Amino acid sequence: MPVLRAAKRAAVADEALIRALYEEHGRALLAYATRLTGDHAAAEDAVQETLVRAWRHPDTLVNGKGSVRGWLLTVTRNIIADRYRAKAARPAEVAEVPAAPPVAADHSDAVVDSMVVLDAMEALSAEHRDVLREIYFRGRSVAEAAETLGVPPGTVKSRSYYALRAMRQTFGGRRAVVGEVAG
């Protein structure tokens, strides 16, 4: 039993040592590691690994060859350098290629939109429908549509306005599906 008590006391002492090291040098180690890595999470990992090494080798902390902080900073720098070397030695990661070929675009939405627009167009008067066909589906200007339909440009503008308003009401206030169907 005395051996177990001694081991328990040593573990408590080791924990107290690591706690004291972290309280005294933790901020400086983290700042140093963050400057070296540019990544806070990687810096925290390096500091944690440094403290684990200090816990495993407490005799090196008090060997009389220099300051404790100097030893901790050197170990931190070496850990970060080792990680960079290990990362550089590994081949570059390549994105995984999907086994199945990409799925072709689904045109069902465009077909449904076209059907909805055509139904709304059928609900318009012939004059309004003709104006929308000339301007939006055939891409004519107001002047060209007026000449084709044999009406003044002002009439083309007003019929276009009222036809679009009627279609907006049909779609429940949603905007401009008409221009998208032409393509």
Given this model, what pLDDT does residue 10 score? 56
Domains and CATH numbers, the chain: 2-89 (1.10.1740.10), 108-181 (1.10.10.10)
Given this model, what pLDDT does residue 158 score? 94
Structural contact between residues 76 and 32, judged by C-beta atoms closer than 8 angstroms = yes
Higher local confidence (pLDDT), 158 or 86: 158
Higher local confidence (pLDDT), 76 or 182: 76
Given this model, what pLDDT does residue 102 score? 66
Encoded tokens for 95: 């994105």
Cα angle 177, 178, 179; round to 5 = 95
Query: Above 90 in pLDDT, residue 27?
Result: yes
CA–CA separation, 42 and 55 (whole Å): 20
Among candidates 133, 170, 122, 127, which has minimal Cα distance to 151? Answer: 127
Alpha helices in the chain (DSSP H): 2-37, 40-56, 58-61, 68-89, 108-123, 126-132, 142-149, 153-170, 178-181
Quick: pLDDT tens for 74-95: 999 999 999 888 888 877 777 7
Given this model, what pLDDT does residue 63 score? 61
Among candidates 14, 55, 48, which has minimal Cα distance to 33? Answer: 48
CA–CA separation, 72 and 33 (whole Å): 11
Query: Above 90 in pLDDT, residue 43?
Result: yes
Q: Match 């070397």 to its residue by tokens.
A: 85
- Backbone conformation region of residue 101, classed left if phi is above 0, alpha if psi is from -120 to 50, else beta: beta
Query: Above 50 in pLDDT, residue 183?
Result: no
Question: What average pLDDT does the segment 3-19 reach?
Answer: 60
Quick: pLDDT tens for 93-131: 777 776 766 666 677 888 888 888 888 888 889 999 999
Higher local confidence (pLDDT), 37 or 17: 37
